[in-house]
Structure 1
Amino acid sequence: MAEPVRRRGRQIMPDWSYHTLFRPALFRLSDENSRELTLKVMRGLYRLPAGKHLIRWMGHMDPPEEGRVNRLGITFPSPVGITGEVDPNHQGTEPFALFGTGFLDLGVVTDEPVKGTVKKNPRHRALALNHPWVNRGADFLQRRLTEMRGVQTPLTIRLGHRPGAGQEEALRERLALIERFADDLSFFVLEDLEPVNSGDREWTEHVQKLSDACHRQKRPLLLSVTPESPLLRNEKLLPHISCLVDGWVLSDGIRSCSNEFLVGREGDARRAVSALTRLRKFLPDQPVIASGGVHEPMDAIHLLEAGADLVQVNAGLVYAGPGLVKRTNEAVMQWKAGEGKQVVPGSSRRRTTAFLLGSGLTVIALAAWWVAAGMVVLPYDEEWLGMSREQLIMLNDRLLPFMAHDRITLSGTLLSLGILYMMLSFFGMRRGYHWPQRVLSLSALIGFVSLFYFLGHGYPDPLHIWLSASLFPLYWLMKRFAPSSHRPHRSTGWRNTRSWHLSLWGQLSFVSLGAAFCAAGAVISLIGMTDVFVRTDLEFMKTTAEDLQASNHRLLPLIAHDRAGFGGTLLAVGISVMLISLWGFREGERWIWWALALGGLPGFIGTVGVHFAIGYTDFFHLLPAYAGLVLYGTGLICSFSFLHQKGEPTL
């Protein structure tokens, strides 16, 4: 076993929205309705023109190349698969393939449908089936496989038969299933949860014929057993059967006292580990796929430590959330890496240019704040207007305070952006993570595009253009130095702890805050290039837009330039905050907390403080800022323990 590593820092429907918003609502619906609604929404999103790319972009769930597993002559993208009980109607297969899964088990298949129900069992945090082979039949699966031709993830089915079938009938049905689905699947699993009533010799012959059929189709055959299977205790038959199959699946299904079939019970990893140990005693080299009630990454680590090559999740997706696969992939990477291995840090040239970009924005923001708090307007502003600062005061004694309010708000937001960029480059890029580069690239691109807002308001600020032209080479160099590979996160969030659950509320708050900034930035940009003012602005200045326009036809373009620029900067900040929250939240990554904490302070201080400084305190005008402060504070409080977590993951 690899030594536990020290903590270094921790989509569709990600965990931060699933646990906080959707799960409470879904668990109030009937089991069938909640499952159908969830899977239909996932499938609908996947089928949108850019849905597939949106899922990947939002969740960043693609497993790293280092996590690939080569077994059975198949390259599995990751060691984590999903079993069919989660989705008996195969509605979510395509989206599930984007969850970072290494393979997808489409469940038991029989020629004719086997009717039954799949319900939640909250007591055991499991899925309860009134029949273990609930499925909609081979014809239905064939139609779905035709629709999901683009899925690249390895697929498998478990070969069932008509309940109560005899030896010959069961064999014919299974052979027909192999021939029918061989072209669409990567391997087959012989389902032994309801074995054919026969002696050891007849059962051996049954397995032999199925194995021969699979090998003719160049597909591996695995045998599925449970920890209670008599086969695992038959020291004579077990080695003989192992010569007929290519590997094993250790299922976690168990019959309850009420004759329900429970799958994925929380805490079943110990039972599976014991069975794995016994299986590995006789079969040390054959591939083994293990299920064991995986509800948190640590459960999967226990199974891999015991000898599993691949693991499967089922009920854990329902109770722990759809991010379980991604979290488990990262935990497995961390477990495999060991404490002693060091990862080469990210490109120094790339992070240096990114840091300089953030530093430049910070210096510009501080200078702009100083100007806005003092003289407010610059000489080239006065030249553009043909009016001096004193003449502007005589025109309207609240005009300069209003312009100062615009410019200080812009400066505070720009300062926030600079701090975020510096934190992303100094911490995220230095550790070799790929996502900070993407955050910076998209956010900065939006900032540079906002330079052309002057086409809407008609005031090409020469200083703005010069500064943007000076910073753009840094942006270009940062893009040019982007590496072709990246270091995966070394996650230590192996357990569903209380701090993890609380952090989901913090993550929700910051994602919502970033989205709100984006929406507000877009609206303010649009207003700045069109109407320029909102009603409360004119009420504060006790004038009208027409009067200001009549007094100086260049005054509105000047004010509009500040407003539109603030909108573009706020949009860039919103993108940064939202993507940092989506992609960077991991246990122990305290720099994420400090980036959001320090990055938010200048923006809120500038925005709220200047309004009170000039007496522009209309409650409804400041309500969005107050709401943002609540989200900001909630996010910092709820995520503090999780992001500042110390220690080592315990096995």
Structure 2
Amino acid sequence: MYKQLIRPILFLFDPEKVHYFTFSLIRILCKIPFVASIFRSIYQINDTRLEKNLFGLSFKNPVGLAAGFDKNAVLYNELANFGFGFIEIGTVTPKGQVGNPKKRLFRLKEDKGIINRMGFNNDGIEAAIKNLKKNKHKVIIGGNIGKNTATKPEDYTEDYLQVFKELHPFVDYFVLNVSCPNVGSHAKLNDKDYLVELITACQNQNNRFKIKKPILLKIAPDLNNTQLDEIIDLVAETKIDGVIASNTSTTRDNLKTSTERLQQIGNGGVSGQPIKNQSTKVIQYLSKNSNKAFPIIGVGGIHTAEDAIEKIEAGADLVQVYTGFIYEGPSLIKKINKAVLHKL
């Protein structure tokens, strides 16, 4: 029904406007008596064989929603009804910011992909906390954190630490987003020495809390083997809890979308099917060359159950969807969980 009827209508309109319209629609529907329970009965699979214990957390299933969809933590309670094992909110920055100028979100329909240059648009840490105080604890919540665009390089760490400290009581794990291509001046965030400094600072802050939260690093799919070796060394050196592979890509290779259309769109990170193989190769390389030394969450181009299984077989412990959720609809989560059970 979604792909045949709902998606064609939604895809007639501007992607960003549709995003917020869909948010409002889901919230309204879930307030109607019994609708949330109907969603759960349709989309959820509750089977203990799907449970996964990772970095001290127990995930009820291995399928999560990637960051960027629920930036301000306004819809995670309702989204939990669709069967996710975990939901990542953010990217959250210390201060609210409008992000890059619109239009900044584009569909690549022929490629089943998206290009975005949102620029960490979010309402800031205070708004996120206000919304997270409404948590009904239906699902594990991850906090994806970043810096404000206007922050000077010497103050990057302070931005991350502020969000980490204030968000700590309200999320189950953290993700240091250092790989988004849509925020200015990320050169420093790709420097290994700086990453050691940033991770260590967050870990020191983490140790001040009675209950420590897992910290993960989100990396780009465009890293070469030498850079991936540095990531493996970085994880070994810092003992960070895991890696999310991967973020959006700046490459435009092998796209069906015309060159003219891509030039019209301009800069931005590609997500969805076009980066599926890139992401899987990164997962495979990290897993193989580290001797599976750390947990990996696989994300990038998962549009079918087979795509998810491919990521898991490459070395991912958990998977996340985003663009696939938009193109394939909420039934994708159930299909992946069914495939995992079948594989078991």
* Aligned-residue offset at 1:133: 2.3
Secondary structure of the corresponding residue to residue 46 of structure 2: coil
1:450-471 residue CA offsets vs partner (Å, 9 max, x unmatched): xxxxxxxxxxxxxxxxxxxxxx
Correspondent of 2:2 among 18, 23, 28: 18
Q: Is the 8 A contact 2:37 2:81 kept in 1?
A: no
Q: Is the 8 A contact 1:88 1:135 kept in 2?
A: yes
1:407-464 residue CA offsets vs partner (Å, 9 max, x unmatched): xxxxxxxxxxxxxxxxxxxxxxxxxxxxxxxxxxxxxxxxxxxxxxxxxxxxxxxxxx
- Structure-2-length-normalised TM-score: 0.84
1:276 alignment partner in structure 2 = 283
Greater fraction of residues in helix: 1
Rounded Cα–Cα distance in structure 2 between residues aligned with 1:279 and 1:231: 9
Correspondent of 2:339 among 312, 331, 335: 331
Rounded Cα–Cα distance in structure 1 between residues aligned with 2:157 and 2:285: 29
1:32 alignment partner in structure 2 = 16
* Aligned-residue offset at 1:230: 5.6
Q: How does 1:397-436 map to 2 (within 5 A)?
A: none
- Structure-1-length-normalised TM-score: 0.46
Q: How does 1:142-541 map to 2 (within 5 A)?
A: 142-147=129-134, 149-163=135-149, 165-194=151-180, 195=186, 197=188, 200-217=192-209, 218-229=212-223, 233=227, 235=229, 238-244=232-238, 245-256=240-251, 258-263=266-271, 265-280=272-287, 281-282=289-290, 284-335=292-343, 337=344
* Aligned-residue offset at 1:121: 2.9
Secondary structure of the corresponding residue to residue 39 of structure 1: helix
* Aligned-residue offset at 1:60: 4.5
Please provide the CA RMSD for this pair.
2.3
Decide whether aligned partners of structure 1 residues 142 and 118 sit closer, same or farther in structure 2, where only a CA change above 3 A counts.
Answer: farther
Secondary structure of the corresponding residue to residue 108 of structure 1: strand
Rounded Cα–Cα distance in structure 2 between residues aligned with 1:145 and 1:156: 11
1:136 alignment partner in structure 2 = 123
* Aligned-residue offset at 1:35: 2.0
Deviates more, 1:136-145 or 1:65-74: 136-145
* Aligned-residue offset at 1:36: 2.1
1:93-146 residue CA offsets vs partner (Å, 9 max, x unmatched): 222212221110113111123324444332432232223523232222122212
Correspondent of 1:80 among 51, 60, 63: 63
1:476 alignment partner in structure 2 = none
1:435 alignment partner in structure 2 = none
Rounded Cα–Cα distance in structure 2 between residues aligned with 1:231 and 1:223: 17
Uncovered stretches (5+) of structure 2, i.e. residues with no partner:
181-185, 253-265
Deviates more, 1:225-234 or 1:187-196: 225-234
Decide whether aligned partners of structure 1 residues 204 and 88 sit closer, same or farther in structure 2, where only a CA change above 3 A counts.
Answer: closer
What percent identity do the matched residue pairs reach? Answer: 24
Decide whether aligned partners of structure 1 residues 316 and 200 sit closer, same or farther in structure 2, where only a CA change above 3 A counts.
Answer: closer
Correspondent of 2:37 among 53, 58, 77: 53
Correspondent of 2:78 among 90, 95, 111: 95
2:260 alignment partner in structure 1 = none
1:380 alignment partner in structure 2 = none
Rounded Cα–Cα distance in structure 2 between residues aligned with 1:232 and 1:70: 31
* Aligned-residue offset at 1:51: 3.4
- Read off the aligned partner of 1:136 and give its amino acid letter: D
Q: Which has the larger radius of gyration?
A: 1
Rounded Cα–Cα distance in structure 1 between residues aligned with 2:119 and 2:298: 18
Uncovered stretches (5+) of structure 1, i.e. residues with no partner:
1-16, 338-651
Greater fraction of residues in strand: 2
Rounded Cα–Cα distance in structure 2 between residues aligned with 1:39 and 1:159: 22
